Amino acid sequence: MANFVRSRRNSIEADPKRMSNSPFPGQIGDKTKMEDIKNPLFDRAITTTLAQPSFEKTFWMPDSTCKACPECGESFNLFKRRHHCRLCGMIFCHACSPHMIDGTSYGYSNQSIRICKKCFKSLDLGTALIEMSNHEMDVPTSPLPVSRTIFDYDTHNGTPLYNVVSDVNFDDNMSDSVPLVPQTSNATASGKKLRRRPSLELHSALDLLDRKDTPLVPMPSIGEHTTSTLLEQHQEVAASQLQALLLHRIEAISLPPMDRQLLLNKINQFISSTTKTFVEMKYFRTHLGFNHQDLIGVKTIATGDNYSCDFVHGIVCHKNVSHKKAPKALEKPRILLFQEGIVFSQASERISSLDTLLDQEKAYISAIVEKIQQLKPDIIFTGQSVSRLAQDLLAESNIALVLNVKSDLLETIARHTGSVLLKNSDSIKNDGSTIIGNNCSAFHVETYLVQDPEKATRKRESYIFLEGSLPEAGGTILLQGPDKAVLRQLKILWRDIAAMAYDLSLQAYVLTDLMYPVVPVSKSKTLHAVKGMVKLIEVPNRPKFVPCSSAQEFTLEYYSPLDKALGSYLFNDCIAPSTKCQNSTCKVPLIDHIQTYSCMDGTILVDVEDLPEKERPPVNDDPVVDEDKPSIYFWRYCRLCEKVVTPFVLLSSMTLQFSFGRFLEIIFTVRGPMLCANDEFEHQCPHDGQTSHLLYFNCGRHAIRVEYVEERPWYVQHDNCLPFDQPWYIECQKKESLELLDALHAFANPILSEINHMPPHDGMFLELLVKSATKLHDSQLYQIINQSDNEDSSLVEVDTIRRDIYHSCKKWVQCLNKIRRVDSDTFKSLRITTSEPSSSIANSQKSSPISASPTASDTKPQLDEALTASLSSLTLENSVASDPPPPALSLTLPPPSTWKSTIESILLRSNDNSPRASLDRLEIPEIFSRGHPEMPPGCHGRVVGTDDDLHFSFAAYALNSDKYEEELAKQKGLDVVSTEGLLTSKYDSTIKLHFEDVRDNEFTCQVHYAIQFEALRSLFYGQHHDFISSIASCLNYSTKGGKSGAKFFRTQDDRFLIKYISQTELQCFLASAVAYCEHIAKVYFESMSSVLSKILGVYTVTHASKKWTEHIVVMENIFCNMKVDTVYDLKGSTRNRYAAPGSGLLDGNFLIKTLGLPSPLHPRSYEKLIDAIKHDVFFLSENNIIDYSLVIGYLPEEDIPDDENENASLKTNRLMLVGIIDYLRHFDFIKRMESVGKSVTMIAGQDAPTIVEPKQYAKRFVDALELQYFMPVPSMGDHF
């Protein structure tokens, strides 16, 4: 690479002219030399001649300075491209630069070059005009394996793009378009091209050479019914559809019944005859568009009492001759046409007398008239006025004169009469025989009494008739009747029916030649689609296929000047080597691109393959392609059958005249198995012709491959602000309640078992405490378990019960440990001081079992009173001195209702003498002790635990605390009371809270901009306690924050993501926090579109005991409750933006997935997405923020449930979730130095570094998403 760049630079420095931005066509060297280049494929030499140019040009018109063709005046657009004349350097359209000559004499070795008409006329036609076939180089057969996909280009064993010389290169920037090829030890690859090599599908077609021409069967008249051939079936469908439309339209017009039937018969007759004439004409479509609309004019004359319709083989116009003495009827008239008039204009600036001016005018006009008289015309049509003197002189010569004729009418007259439309009388040459037209057989002027629409009277109007012209020139439909408004309706009816008849006639041949099934044809008049261009590049660390230019939306009216004939498109836009890419900076010919057209649920790919030299079909030996009537062969290849499934068909001239836009529509809409017009062909394919077949068009040495790729557009979704899922939360509470219930009994049962082996007086109190507390907790847990999902819960939450269970278990363990430590003598002091009644009751209970007797029932109230009194006087004594003094042990008893029901069984428990089951060590389970239950509960008794491994849990605890509520209430004491005012407040409402517990669990939490984020969450995510419930329970999230390695967590309800950020990111965000809140306020209150992934809270937690500080951001999860297939992180740059499989996917991976094509979106989704991105990017760039990205996730498609099987093949709407993330970094000094460092080390030719200034970053980001990554794909009838 370095040697190549050095050699190229040296060659430019050696030739100063090559340093100019404007090339010098024709200049290559000073001497003529012969050079033999050995071809390694054929082991023979190719002689290349570098000839001394015959003349040298120094002018090369830039594309940007030419907006319209200087020859015809037509503006350049999507379908009308610029072409440079290689001799004069001017820019022309295709029609005005139609000539191809051998370029060897002009410095283009072994190339055919395009020149304009003027340069062509100036050449010596005897020596300069040489056919292309005499100088085309042989194309070597590729030694590489054949391809299997349309995107598999021939890269010549990995040779980069800049080391390959194309066989034909007609780029404007000649010094840059032909790179120098470094000499190697092998041979120079002179004939290499970027064009794809023959695919496997094309090779399989070359084995079948039994091509057969499509029969040329004229379209039957409307109403005829024949079904013998495939063509006639298509024609019958077209005729019936046309007849139905005609009946429907004519019945909607207010006409007398007899006149309606007469008009219907006449229109049928004229439509059939004219359409048949035009369809069967030779292929003569110009590159300026279709002209069949202009071939038949319609003239209405409001005269007579009945409506009539006649056809004139010529022209009818509302004009009269200018002089009364002029003839008004002529046979075989000779006609002369002028764009301008015949007047005298003073050329001198000197003031002359009136007599002098009159003499000058008379002399000038007389000379002009004499010059005209020598041509012997009978009629003169002028576009402007003619002096009175000239009119008199012409009338004396018996020459009729028609003045002020519109330019389009003059062109029509020229077509019908064969005249040449001259600019003025100065254009008349000595020999003017070729400019006079005489193709019409008659000229006459008719006068009619026409109804005046403003008055109730009639007036006289004159009309000129030019009749007897050739059928190919067209004609005029003459409509007459009493009502002008009805005539206008009939005129519109005729134009619509005539255009549809022409289209349906051609379409019948197209459907037959391309072997489509017999289907109802479309009634649409326009195609709404998106055009794209893809090319191959060979740049390290970048996708192989990239868009050459941004996808362009277009609306194409069928058969309009913007539309093209199918044959014209196949030749000029596919295989013509001189056609340039529409991107002015692209140096690759259009033939080496892949053209794409996207609409509805798929994309059409148009690619060109070269037929191998040795395997080209012998039916078309001549490589010269007649541009006016090219021979194009067609066949189909089925990818499922893996073979050619149709015979080879020579496309008829009717097919080549067909609208290219309508051709695209057929591919987009017609499905099902294809039909073969030749019943003898053995391969009848049962597969869908739209999705399974490849369409091949062979023209000369090229094969044009048309492939349909089915990919339905995506819908875009953002702002998935789901409310708190109360049923889900209840289910989680139920699940945790069941776990706590099992753990509670698993912990309480061993304690009760040990108590059962104690003497009754030893463990009676502890047993009572355990059983009563267990019963209370069971009751609370069962209330949660039995709670309805839709019930508005006011029950105690599981975390509160967990904390209560922890403290109960702690009491049990302390009591049990004390019981174990005392001996039998000391334990006697730990007794229950009871009154005599209670002892007697106990003794009586001990002596006789409890039964359902009335005696037991009567003593129950006394028992309850005695137990309440005795247990209230319970004290613990003789604590072990060696233990650290525990906190005051509060033996608050459970409510009496929970333990009075169990006291009888405790007092009456039998004391067996079995050995005591002692638990040596008893620890509280982790399920109870998690979350630091020693910390005090929060606001309204709500409990939120903290976890040493989950630092954000300390922020959740702070938000749930009473301190936060108190501080927030103080902050809200401001004058602003509305939610919008709180959100947009510029006041720094940061709250700093401090917490500690008995276990040295000390930490502080800063809630940044507490009021603003509280208002933001209330707008999008509901109540504060619901937000706390979400973030209080999180899971680790496998996604990592790119190069920073930031940790992520996801809430269990999937609504939020929690990210640990750096100190720098925190400071950057706080600097723009006020602007961020104002931006979000516009999104909510002004309905401004946005895809910003909202940040819902920013916190800083510092743990004094553990000595750590964490900066925490809580943001919404754009993939909330969605299972995405693939996620991409897009920054708008492809430099170093490719990730290995298994890691996060980036821009390069995205372009590889889409094969260089933009991802299709529904038009409304695309519009809203781009609009939202522009709003967000403007906010980010204004606040000096960079390094953000758009994350997208594709949802998998699922079948729609359809019990009635009405939509068996219908899928759900394809959904793509989007959101802008990572907008926490400013373009500070560090980032600026990073950008400079990457720019210095950047390899020549690579993109700019990913870190650039905010404005530049924003523009690159928007341009990539809008133009390269996504495109709107409309339905057939959508309008942009």
Average pLDDT of the residues in 30-57: 34
Residue 1025 burial (10 A CB sphere; 0-12, 13-18, 19+): middle
What count of other Cβ atoms lies within 10 Å of the Cβ of residue 473?
A: 18
Query: Residue 501: is its pLDDT beyond 70?
Result: yes
Query: Residue 16: is its pLDDT beyond 70?
Result: no
Which pLDDT score, from 0 to 100, does residue 127 have?
37
pLDDT tens readout for residues 822-871: 644 444 443 433 333 333 333 333 333 333 333 333 433 443 443 344 34
* CATH code of the domain containing 456: 3.50.7.10
pLDDT tens readout for residues 50-79: 333 344 445 788 888 888 888 887 888 777
Q: Is residue 563 part of a domain?
A: no
pLDDT tens readout for residues 897-915: 554 455 545 544 444 444 4
Planar angle of CA 692, 698, 699, nearest 5 degrees: 150
Do 321 and 306 share a domain, yes or no? Answer: no
Asked which of 1117, 1135, 1164 is the last residue of a domain, the reply is: 1117
Query: Residue 778: is its pLDDT beyond 80?
Result: yes
Indicate the number of domains in the chain: 6
If you average pLDDT over each of 73-82, 160-169, 1066-1075, which comes out highest?
A: 1066-1075
CA atoms of 1036 and 1047, how far apart (whole Å) = 8
Do 73 and 4 share a domain, yes or no? Answer: yes
Residues 6+ apart with CB under 8 A from 1215: 714, 715, 716, 717, 1194, 1195
Which pLDDT score, from 0 to 100, does residue 1043 have?
60
Which pLDDT score, from 0 to 100, does residue 310 have?
93
* CATH code of the domain containing 1029: 3.30.800.10
List strands edge to edge, sheet with 1189-1194. 715-717, 1215-1221, 1189-1194, 1126-1130
Query: Residue 180: is its pLDDT beyond 80?
Result: no
Determine the residue type at 602: G
Which pLDDT score, from 0 to 100, does residue 794 have?
63
Query: Residue 1173: is its pLDDT beyond 90?
Result: yes
Query: Residue 132: is its pLDDT beyond 70?
Result: no
Residue, of 280 and 1086, whose pLDDT is higher:
1086
Average pLDDT of the residues in 940-948: 87
Asked which of 886, 905, 929 is the last residue of a domain, the reply is: 929
Tell me the pLDDT band of 154, cut-offs 50, 70 and 90: very low
Average pLDDT of the residues in 1188-1192: 94
Query: Cβ distance 435 to 422 under 8 Å?
Result: yes
Average pLDDT, whole number, for the chain? 75
Average pLDDT of the residues in 792-815: 83
Query: What stretch of H or E contains 632?
Result: none
Quick one: CA torsion of 956, 959, 962, 965, rounded to 10 degrees? -170
Query: Residue 809: is its pLDDT beyond 60?
Result: yes
Which pLDDT score, from 0 to 100, does residue 613 have?
64
Query: What stretch of H or E contains 1013?
Result: helix 1010-1020
Which region among 489-498, 740-749, 813-822, 1129-1138 has the lowest average model confidence (pLDDT)?
813-822
Do 1261 and 1162 share a domain, yes or no? Answer: yes
CA atoms of 2 and 106, how far apart (whole Å) = 33
Quick one: CA torsion of 577, 579, 582, 588, rounded to 10 degrees? 20
Do 494 and 457 share a domain, yes or no? Answer: no
CA atoms of 968 and 963, how far apart (whole Å) = 8
Q: Is residue 170 part of a domain?
A: yes
Which pLDDT score, from 0 to 100, does residue 672 have?
87
Tell me the pLDDT band of 538, cut-offs 50, 70 and 90: low
pLDDT tens readout for residues 619-659: 444 444 455 566 888 989 998 988 888 888 888 888 888 88
Query: Residue 1075: is its pLDDT beyond 90?
Result: yes
Tell me the pLDDT band of 252, cut-offs 50, 70 and 90: very high
CA atoms of 475 and 484, how far apart (whole Å) = 22
pLDDT tens readout for residues 403-418: 999 998 998 999 899 8
Query: Cβ distance 1112 to 1058 under 8 Å?
Result: yes
Residues 6+ apart with CB under 8 A from 690: 602, 667, 670, 671, 672, 708, 710
Tell me the pLDDT band of 888, cut-offs 50, 70 and 90: very low
CA atoms of 590 and 571, how far apart (whole Å) = 12
Do 1086 and 1142 share a domain, yes or no? Answer: no
Which pLDDT score, from 0 to 100, does residue 706 have?
95
CA atoms of 919 and 912, how far apart (whole Å) = 19
Question: Tokens 């005795």 identify what position?
Answer: 870
Tell me the pLDDT band of 1199, cut-offs 50, 70 and 90: low
Do 1190 and 1206 share a domain, yes or no? Answer: yes
Query: What stretch of H or E contains 548?
Result: strand 545-557
Which pLDDT score, from 0 to 100, does residue 431 have?
65
Q: Is residue 845 part of a domain?
A: no
Residues 6+ apart with CB under 8 A from 716: 1161, 1162, 1165, 1166, 1168, 1169, 1215, 1216, 1217, 1218
Residue, of 627 and 312, whose pLDDT is higher:
312
Query: Residue 428: is its pLDDT beyond 80?
Result: yes
Residue, of 913 and 115, whose pLDDT is higher:
115
Which pLDDT score, from 0 to 100, does residue 859 have?
34
Q: Is residue 1259 part of a domain?
A: yes
CA atoms of 104 and 123, how far apart (whole Å) = 14
Which pLDDT score, from 0 to 100, does residue 1265 have?
93
CA atoms of 141 and 1017, how far apart (whole Å) = 67
Exposure on the CB side of residue 1025, measured as CA atoms within 13 A: 12
Q: Is residue 538 part of a domain?
A: no
Q: Is residue 320 part of a domain?
A: yes
Do 1144 and 1229 share a domain, yes or no? Answer: yes
First to last CA, the chain: 46
CA atoms of 750 and 767, how far apart (whole Å) = 11
Tell me the pLDDT band of 1053, cut-offs 50, 70 and 90: confident
What does the block give as tokens for 375? 């041509």
Do 178 and 285 share a domain, yes or no? Answer: no
* CATH code of the domain containing 1176: 3.30.810.10
Do 252 and 373 share a domain, yes or no? Answer: no
Q: Is residue 208 part of a domain?
A: no
Which pLDDT score, from 0 to 100, does residue 1248 have?
61
Residue, of 543 and 958, whose pLDDT is higher:
958
Distances (CA, A) of 327 to 330, 376, 743: 7, 14, 118
CA atoms of 161 and 155, how far apart (whole Å) = 8
Q: Is residue 600 part of a domain?
A: no
Closest to 798 in 3D by CA, of 730, 720, 726, 897: 730
Query: Residue 1017: is its pLDDT beyond 90?
Result: yes
If you average pLDDT over each of 78-87, 303-312, 756-765, 791-800, which comes out highest?
A: 303-312
Do 264 and 362 share a domain, yes or no? Answer: no
Residue 982 sits in which domain range?
937-1117
Tell me the pLDDT band of 120, cut-offs 50, 70 and 90: confident
Which region among 15-29, 92-106, 570-584, 1124-1138 has the lowest average model confidence (pLDDT)?
15-29
Query: Residue 46: is its pLDDT beyond 50?
Result: no
CA atoms of 617 and 611, how far apart (whole Å) = 9
Asked which of 883, 898, 929 is the last residue of a domain, the reply is: 929
Alpha helices (H) along 1049-1162: 1063-1071, 1073-1085, 1147-1153
Output the CA torsion sign for 584, 699, 689, 239: positive
Query: Residue 782: is its pLDDT beyond 50?
Result: yes
* CATH code of the domain containing 54: 3.30.40.10
Residue 1213 burial (10 A CB sphere; 0-12, 13-18, 19+): middle
pLDDT tens readout for residues 137-153: 333 332 223 333 333 33
Do 960 and 1098 share a domain, yes or no? Answer: yes
Q: What is the DSSP string of 1083-1101?
A: HHHS-----B--EEEEEEE
What does the block give as tokens for 313? 């083989």
Q: What percent of the chain has pLDDT over 90?
A: 24
Tell me the pLDDT band of 994, cut-offs 50, 70 and 90: very high
Which pLDDT score, from 0 to 100, does residue 919 have?
46
Beta-ladder partners of 338: 382, 422
Query: Cβ distance 1166 to 1228 under 8 Å?
Result: no
Which pLDDT score, from 0 to 100, does residue 226 have?
42
CA atoms of 835 and 847, how far apart (whole Å) = 18
CA atoms of 1027 and 897, how far apart (whole Å) = 37
Tell me the pLDDT band of 929, cut-offs 50, 70 and 90: confident
Beta strands in 794-888 (DSSP E): none
What does the block give as tokens for 575? 């295989």
Q: What percent of the chain has pLDDT over 70?
A: 70
Query: Cβ distance 1181 to 679 under 8 Å?
Result: no
Do 1234 and 1161 share a domain, yes or no? Answer: yes
Query: Cβ distance 142 to 198 under 8 Å?
Result: yes
Residue, of 387 and 124, whose pLDDT is higher:
387
Output the CA torsion sign for 140, 146, 149, 152: negative
Residue, of 914 and 1260, whose pLDDT is higher:
1260
